Every structure is written in C-alpha cells, then in structure tokens.
Amino acid sequence: MYEIGELVLYGSTGVCRVSEIKTQDFPSTGERRLYYVLKPLYQSCVISVPVDSDKVFIRPIISKDEAERLISLIPGRKCEAYHNRATRELAQHYDTMLKSHKCEDLIDLTMSIYAKKENMHRQKRRFGTVDERFLKQAEDLLFGELAAALEIPRSEVRGYITARVTDAEKAG
C-alpha cells in the first residue's frame, strides 16, 4: 500500500502524488472500499482509484539513482527507427512500448522516433502524426518521471539529459 505524500506512476496519466487515502461507502450494495486520491503533478485534476484495483497500472516512481543510471546508459543505446506504412500497426507497436510502463522502453521509444524524425528530415519528407503523437506521450511520461526522481523541473529534463550524454561522449 502506498503512503500519503508518495509519488507514483499511474497509467498514462504519469506521476501523481498520493494526497489522501479514504474509505468510500456504497449504501446501495453495502460495500465499503478504500481509495487512493491521486493528484497528477503535471495536470490539474484529482483521481480516485480503489486501493485494490488492478485495472490501471500503478507503481512507485524510480529512484534518483535509477534515473541517473538510466540516463548514463543512453549514449550506448542503439535504437533503430521503426518504419511501418500501416498506421494501425505503427500505433500498436508504439502503444505496446508505452504500456510497458518501463523507463527503458520509453527511452527506446523516444530514441527510435527521434531517429525516424531525423531520417524523414534528411529525406525532406513529412514526419507522421502518429509518430508525433506517440513521441509527445513518451516524452511526457519519461520526462515527468525523471523530473520527479531527479527533483528538477520537467522543462529542464531534456537539457539535463543532453548535458549528461554530451559529457559522457567527451569522456569516452
């Protein structure tokens, strides 16, 4: 069970703070359930989710050390652009990576789409809307979790990663 004040990753919403744990009574069924009240860090809404629900993914955010470790591995990662002319299959591929809720997969996904974007730009071709949409979703989830773990503003994550990757490339 999560504690009040704890940061968790909740489904496709991203990082949320557990603001309250409350009991909800349902007089019509006589049922009583315990709920987390979650406040997303990067959205203005409140989410109530049953403590015992397994319908939407929820986990603690990664630690600062894990965030640093993941960023340090970026220079050595090789990610190929994923090309598929069938929009539905492309979206399914991207969605599968998003729904793993693993930072490693989000890094691979963003790097893959960045590579595809560069290829399209070099060929003077238009970058697809499916690619653009999933890049934004992956960046929002990844940068949100890294920002929370590193305790920096989300707007600074891209620069932080770039600086760390540049330093690693110079060193070695």
What pTM does this model have? 0.91
Sign of CA dihedral 23, 24, 25, 31: negative
Q: State the chain's mean pLDDT as an integer.
A: 92
| Cα–chain center distance at 24 | 30
12 confidence band (pLDDT: 50, 70, 90): very high
Report whether 152 contacts 21 (CB < 8 A).
no
pLDDT at residue 102, rounded to an integer: 95
Helix (H) or strand (E) holding 151: none
Percent of the chain scoring above 70 in pLDDT: 99
